[in-house]
Amino acid sequence: MTTSAHEAGNRAFWEQAAATHGTHAGDRYYDLAKVVAGGTLMTLHEEGALAAATGAPADDPLSRLGGLSVLHLQSHIGVDGVVMARAGARVTCADWSPTALRRAQELAAQVGVRIETVECDARDLPAALHGRFDLVYVTIGAICWIDDLDRWMRQVAAVLRPGGVLVLVELHPLLQMLEARVPEIVMDLPYGGGAAGTWEGSGTYADPDAPVQSSTTCYAHSLGEIVTGAVSAGMRVDRLVEHDALDFDPRGDDLVTRDEDGRLRLRLGRGREEGSRGEPLPVAFTLLATRA
Protein backbone atom coordinates (compact mmCIF):
# COMPACT_ATOMS: atom_id res chain seq x y z
CA MET A 1 0.00 0.00 0.00
CA THR A 2 1.31 3.47 -0.83
CA THR A 3 1.63 6.34 1.63
CA SER A 4 -1.31 8.14 0.07
CA ALA A 5 -3.42 4.97 0.37
CA HIS A 6 -2.42 4.81 4.06
CA GLU A 7 -3.45 8.43 4.45
CA ALA A 8 -6.77 7.85 2.68
CA GLY A 9 -7.48 4.89 4.97
CA ASN A 10 -6.70 6.95 8.06
CA ARG A 11 -8.81 9.91 6.94
CA ALA A 12 -11.75 7.64 6.13
CA PHE A 13 -11.51 6.02 9.57
CA TRP A 14 -11.44 9.36 11.38
CA GLU A 15 -14.40 10.72 9.44
CA GLN A 16 -16.44 7.66 10.44
CA ALA A 17 -15.20 7.70 14.05
CA ALA A 18 -16.01 11.41 14.37
CA ALA A 19 -19.54 10.79 13.13
CA THR A 20 -20.19 8.01 15.62
CA HIS A 21 -18.27 8.89 18.81
CA GLY A 22 -20.51 10.00 21.65
CA THR A 23 -23.68 8.96 19.82
CA HIS A 24 -24.09 5.29 20.88
CA ALA A 25 -24.90 3.72 24.23
CA GLY A 26 -21.96 1.35 23.58
CA ASP A 27 -19.43 4.22 23.58
CA ARG A 28 -17.29 3.72 26.68
CA TYR A 29 -15.29 6.90 26.33
CA TYR A 30 -17.06 9.92 24.87
CA ASP A 31 -19.64 10.68 27.57
CA LEU A 32 -20.73 14.02 26.10
CA ALA A 33 -23.66 14.36 28.51
CA LYS A 34 -21.12 14.51 31.33
CA VAL A 35 -19.28 17.35 29.58
CA VAL A 36 -22.48 19.27 28.88
CA ALA A 37 -23.39 18.85 32.57
CA GLY A 38 -20.15 20.60 33.57
CA GLY A 39 -17.77 17.62 33.80
CA THR A 40 -14.60 16.70 31.96
CA LEU A 41 -13.26 13.59 30.23
CA MET A 42 -9.63 14.56 30.80
CA THR A 43 -7.44 11.89 32.35
CA LEU A 44 -5.34 12.50 35.46
CA HIS A 45 -2.26 12.75 33.23
CA GLU A 46 -3.88 15.39 31.00
CA GLU A 47 -5.02 17.45 33.97
CA GLY A 48 -1.60 17.07 35.61
CA ALA A 49 0.13 18.22 32.42
CA LEU A 50 -2.06 21.32 32.17
CA ALA A 51 -1.46 22.14 35.83
CA ALA A 52 2.30 21.80 35.35
CA ALA A 53 2.29 23.88 32.16
CA THR A 54 0.25 26.74 33.62
CA GLY A 55 1.37 26.66 37.27
CA ALA A 56 -2.13 25.73 38.45
CA PRO A 57 -2.54 23.76 41.69
CA ALA A 58 -2.88 20.00 41.23
CA ASP A 59 -6.34 20.02 42.80
CA ASP A 60 -7.60 22.72 40.42
CA PRO A 61 -5.65 21.98 37.22
CA LEU A 62 -7.66 24.14 34.81
CA SER A 63 -7.72 27.24 37.02
CA ARG A 64 -4.90 29.09 35.21
CA LEU A 65 -6.20 28.74 31.66
CA GLY A 66 -8.09 32.04 31.71
CA GLY A 67 -6.98 34.33 28.90
CA LEU A 68 -4.52 31.82 27.41
CA SER A 69 -4.60 31.11 23.70
CA VAL A 70 -4.71 27.32 23.25
CA LEU A 71 -4.45 25.20 20.12
CA HIS A 72 -6.08 21.80 20.66
CA LEU A 73 -4.25 19.99 17.89
CA GLN A 74 -5.77 16.81 16.41
CA SER A 75 -8.74 17.70 18.57
CA HIS A 76 -11.10 15.03 17.24
CA ILE A 77 -14.62 15.99 18.43
CA GLY A 78 -13.14 18.75 20.59
CA VAL A 79 -14.07 17.50 24.05
CA ASP A 80 -11.00 18.76 25.91
CA GLY A 81 -10.93 21.95 23.83
CA VAL A 82 -14.49 22.77 24.86
CA VAL A 83 -13.64 22.07 28.51
CA MET A 84 -10.61 24.40 28.27
CA ALA A 85 -12.79 27.09 26.66
CA ARG A 86 -15.24 26.78 29.53
CA ALA A 87 -12.27 27.30 31.88
CA GLY A 88 -11.57 30.62 30.15
CA ALA A 89 -9.06 29.78 27.42
CA ARG A 90 -9.36 31.09 23.84
CA VAL A 91 -9.42 27.72 22.08
CA THR A 92 -8.76 26.75 18.50
CA CYS A 93 -9.46 23.13 17.59
CA ALA A 94 -7.53 21.83 14.58
CA ASP A 95 -8.11 18.50 12.88
CA TRP A 96 -8.16 17.19 9.33
CA SER A 97 -11.65 15.73 9.79
CA PRO A 98 -14.45 18.18 8.90
CA THR A 99 -16.95 15.94 10.69
CA ALA A 100 -14.87 16.08 13.88
CA LEU A 101 -14.78 19.87 13.74
CA ARG A 102 -18.52 20.12 13.10
CA ARG A 103 -19.09 17.89 16.15
CA ALA A 104 -16.72 20.10 18.19
CA GLN A 105 -18.73 23.20 17.27
CA GLU A 106 -21.97 21.41 18.18
CA LEU A 107 -20.55 20.47 21.59
CA ALA A 108 -19.30 24.03 22.15
CA ALA A 109 -22.79 25.35 21.39
CA GLN A 110 -24.34 22.86 23.83
CA VAL A 111 -21.88 23.89 26.55
CA GLY A 112 -22.33 27.57 25.71
CA VAL A 113 -18.74 28.48 24.79
CA ARG A 114 -17.10 29.74 21.61
CA ILE A 115 -14.25 27.90 19.90
CA GLU A 116 -12.51 28.45 16.59
CA THR A 117 -12.09 25.41 14.32
CA VAL A 118 -9.49 24.98 11.61
CA GLU A 119 -9.55 22.09 9.15
CA CYS A 120 -5.95 21.29 8.32
CA ASP A 121 -3.23 18.67 8.22
CA ALA A 122 -1.20 18.72 11.44
CA ARG A 123 1.92 18.31 9.31
CA ASP A 124 1.17 21.54 7.47
CA LEU A 125 -0.47 24.07 9.77
CA PRO A 126 -1.73 27.28 8.11
CA ALA A 127 0.50 30.36 8.32
CA ALA A 128 -2.42 32.21 9.95
CA LEU A 129 -1.83 30.08 13.07
CA HIS A 130 1.90 30.77 13.32
CA GLY A 131 3.22 32.40 16.50
CA ARG A 132 -0.24 32.62 18.06
CA PHE A 133 -0.49 30.13 20.92
CA ASP A 134 0.49 30.03 24.59
CA LEU A 135 -0.21 26.29 24.64
CA VAL A 136 -0.43 23.59 22.02
CA TYR A 137 -2.36 20.74 23.67
CA VAL A 138 -2.10 17.31 22.05
CA THR A 139 -3.21 14.16 23.78
CA ILE A 140 -3.63 10.46 23.61
CA GLY A 141 -3.75 8.83 20.21
CA ALA A 142 -2.36 11.69 18.12
CA ILE A 143 1.26 11.20 17.06
CA CYS A 144 0.86 7.55 16.02
CA TRP A 145 -1.01 8.92 12.95
CA ILE A 146 1.92 11.10 11.92
CA ASP A 147 4.44 9.63 9.49
CA ASP A 148 6.96 12.50 9.65
CA LEU A 149 7.25 13.42 13.34
CA ASP A 150 10.13 15.90 12.86
CA ARG A 151 8.00 17.90 10.46
CA TRP A 152 5.07 17.75 12.91
CA MET A 153 7.31 19.08 15.71
CA ARG A 154 8.43 21.97 13.49
CA GLN A 155 4.78 22.85 12.86
CA VAL A 156 4.07 22.82 16.61
CA ALA A 157 7.05 25.09 17.26
CA ALA A 158 5.89 27.43 14.49
CA VAL A 159 2.41 27.97 15.95
CA LEU A 160 3.67 28.56 19.51
CA ARG A 161 4.55 32.09 20.46
CA PRO A 162 8.06 32.43 21.97
CA GLY A 163 7.73 31.07 25.52
CA GLY A 164 4.66 29.05 24.55
CA VAL A 165 4.49 25.41 25.67
CA LEU A 166 3.76 22.12 23.95
CA VAL A 167 1.66 19.92 26.25
CA LEU A 168 1.92 16.40 24.85
CA VAL A 169 0.34 13.49 26.73
CA GLU A 170 0.65 10.29 24.77
CA LEU A 171 0.64 6.53 24.90
CA HIS A 172 4.11 5.14 25.46
CA PRO A 173 5.80 3.65 22.37
CA LEU A 174 6.24 0.43 24.31
CA LEU A 175 2.47 0.02 24.62
CA GLN A 176 2.07 0.77 20.91
CA MET A 177 4.35 -2.16 20.08
CA LEU A 178 2.09 -4.65 21.79
CA GLU A 179 -0.80 -6.20 19.85
CA ALA A 180 -1.87 -8.89 22.32
CA ARG A 181 -0.68 -10.47 25.53
CA VAL A 182 -3.10 -13.42 25.67
CA PRO A 183 -2.75 -16.29 24.76
CA GLU A 184 0.79 -15.17 23.90
CA ILE A 185 2.63 -11.88 23.75
CA VAL A 186 2.48 -10.42 20.23
CA MET A 187 4.62 -7.38 19.49
CA ASP A 188 3.95 -6.34 15.91
CA LEU A 189 5.19 -2.73 15.65
CA PRO A 190 8.84 -1.69 16.04
CA TYR A 191 9.74 0.63 18.94
CA GLY A 192 10.46 3.58 16.65
CA GLY A 193 12.04 4.72 13.42
CA GLY A 194 8.74 5.88 11.94
CA ALA A 195 7.93 2.29 10.99
CA ALA A 196 4.38 1.81 9.71
CA GLY A 197 1.88 -0.86 10.67
CA THR A 198 -1.47 -1.35 8.94
CA TRP A 199 -4.54 -2.97 10.48
CA GLU A 200 -7.92 -3.91 9.01
CA GLY A 201 -10.74 -3.77 11.49
CA SER A 202 -14.20 -2.77 12.58
CA GLY A 203 -15.51 -0.53 15.35
CA THR A 204 -13.34 1.99 17.18
CA TYR A 205 -11.32 2.15 20.40
CA ALA A 206 -14.24 3.91 22.09
CA ASP A 207 -17.04 1.89 20.57
CA PRO A 208 -16.07 -1.60 19.35
CA ASP A 209 -19.59 -2.17 17.97
CA ALA A 210 -19.80 1.09 16.00
CA PRO A 211 -20.62 0.54 12.30
CA VAL A 212 -17.09 1.46 11.18
CA GLN A 213 -14.92 -0.57 8.80
CA SER A 214 -11.33 0.58 8.57
CA SER A 215 -7.88 0.07 7.18
CA THR A 216 -5.63 2.23 9.35
CA THR A 217 -1.90 2.82 9.45
CA CYS A 218 0.02 3.91 12.54
CA TYR A 219 3.65 4.96 12.82
CA ALA A 220 6.13 4.08 15.58
CA HIS A 221 8.07 6.91 17.25
CA SER A 222 10.46 6.14 20.07
CA LEU A 223 10.70 8.35 23.12
CA GLY A 224 14.18 9.41 22.02
CA GLU A 225 12.88 10.42 18.58
CA ILE A 226 10.03 12.39 20.15
CA VAL A 227 12.30 14.34 22.51
CA THR A 228 14.99 14.87 19.89
CA GLY A 229 12.31 16.01 17.44
CA ALA A 230 11.10 18.64 19.90
CA VAL A 231 14.64 19.89 20.56
CA SER A 232 15.54 19.93 16.86
CA ALA A 233 12.42 22.00 16.18
CA GLY A 234 13.71 24.69 18.55
CA MET A 235 11.93 23.71 21.75
CA ARG A 236 13.44 23.32 25.20
CA VAL A 237 12.34 20.17 27.00
CA ASP A 238 11.09 21.10 30.47
CA ARG A 239 9.61 17.82 31.57
CA LEU A 240 9.43 14.23 30.41
CA VAL A 241 7.53 11.90 32.71
CA GLU A 242 6.81 8.26 31.96
CA HIS A 243 3.63 6.91 33.53
CA ASP A 244 3.08 3.31 34.60
CA ALA A 245 -0.70 3.62 35.09
CA LEU A 246 -3.72 4.88 33.18
CA ASP A 247 -7.21 5.77 34.35
CA PHE A 248 -8.85 4.43 31.19
CA ASP A 249 -8.25 1.60 28.72
CA PRO A 250 -7.04 3.48 25.63
CA ARG A 251 -7.50 0.75 23.05
CA GLY A 252 -10.39 -1.16 24.54
CA ASP A 253 -8.57 -4.44 24.04
CA ASP A 254 -7.65 -5.30 27.64
CA LEU A 255 -3.88 -5.14 27.19
CA VAL A 256 -3.86 -3.20 30.43
CA THR A 257 -5.50 -4.71 33.51
CA ARG A 258 -7.14 -3.05 36.49
CA ASP A 259 -5.33 -3.10 39.84
CA GLU A 260 -6.85 -2.84 43.30
CA ASP A 261 -6.45 0.96 43.24
CA GLY A 262 -8.72 1.12 40.16
CA ARG A 263 -5.93 2.16 37.79
CA LEU A 264 -4.89 0.22 34.70
CA ARG A 265 -1.38 -1.15 34.28
CA LEU A 266 0.55 -3.21 31.76
CA ARG A 267 1.99 -6.22 33.51
CA LEU A 268 3.74 -9.00 31.60
CA GLY A 269 5.19 -12.16 33.05
CA ARG A 270 5.68 -12.46 36.79
CA GLY A 271 7.69 -10.81 39.52
CA ARG A 272 10.61 -12.33 41.40
CA GLU A 273 8.41 -14.39 43.68
CA GLU A 274 6.60 -17.36 42.17
CA GLY A 275 2.94 -16.37 41.69
CA SER A 276 3.60 -12.63 42.00
CA ARG A 277 2.64 -10.18 39.23
CA GLY A 278 5.22 -8.60 36.94
CA GLU A 279 6.18 -4.99 37.62
CA PRO A 280 4.18 -2.50 35.50
CA LEU A 281 5.72 -1.25 32.27
CA PRO A 282 5.40 2.36 31.06
CA VAL A 283 2.09 2.98 29.29
CA ALA A 284 2.01 6.75 28.75
CA PHE A 285 4.20 9.82 28.95
CA THR A 286 3.93 13.57 29.40
CA LEU A 287 6.24 15.93 27.54
CA LEU A 288 6.29 19.66 28.23
CA ALA A 289 8.48 21.65 25.86
CA THR A 290 8.81 25.43 25.53
CA ARG A 291 9.46 27.32 22.33
CA ALA A 292 12.74 29.10 22.96
Binding site for ligand SAM (CB under 6 A): 14, 74, 76, 79, 95-97, 100, 121-123, 139-142, 145
Q: Which is nearer to ligand SAM, 155 or 290 (CB)?
A: 155
Closest to ligand SAM by CB, 3 vs 236, is: 3
Comparing CB distances to ligand SAM, the nearer of 164 and 250 is 250
**Of residues 249 and 277, the one with the C-beta less far from ligand SAM:** 249
Q: Measured from the CB atom, is 100 or 178 closer to ligand SAM?
A: 100
The minimum distance between CB 9 and ligand SAM, in angstroms, equals: 11
CB of 99 to ligand SAM, least distance (A): 9
Q: Which residue is nearest to ligand SAM (CB)?
A: 141
HEC string for the chain: CCHHHHHHHHHHHHHHHHHHCCCCCCCCCCCHHHHHCCCCCCCHHHHHHHHHHHCCCCCCCCCCCCCCEEEEECCCCCHHHHHHHHCCCEEEEEECCHHHHHHHHHHHHHHCCCCEEEECCCCCCCHHHCCCEEEEEEECCCHHHCCCHHHHHHHHHHHEEEEEEEEEEEECHHHHHEEECCCCCEECCCCCCCCEEEEEEECCCCCCCCCCEEEEEEECCCHHHHHHHHHHCCEEEEEEEEECCECCCCCCCCCCEECCCCCEEEECCECCCCCCECCEECCEEEEEEEEC
Q: Residue 248 Cβ, how far from ligand SAM at the closest point, in Å?
A: 10
CB of 224 to ligand SAM, least distance (A): 22
Whole-number minimum distance, CB 214 to ligand SAM, in Å? 12
Nearer to ligand SAM, 67 or 109 (CB): 109
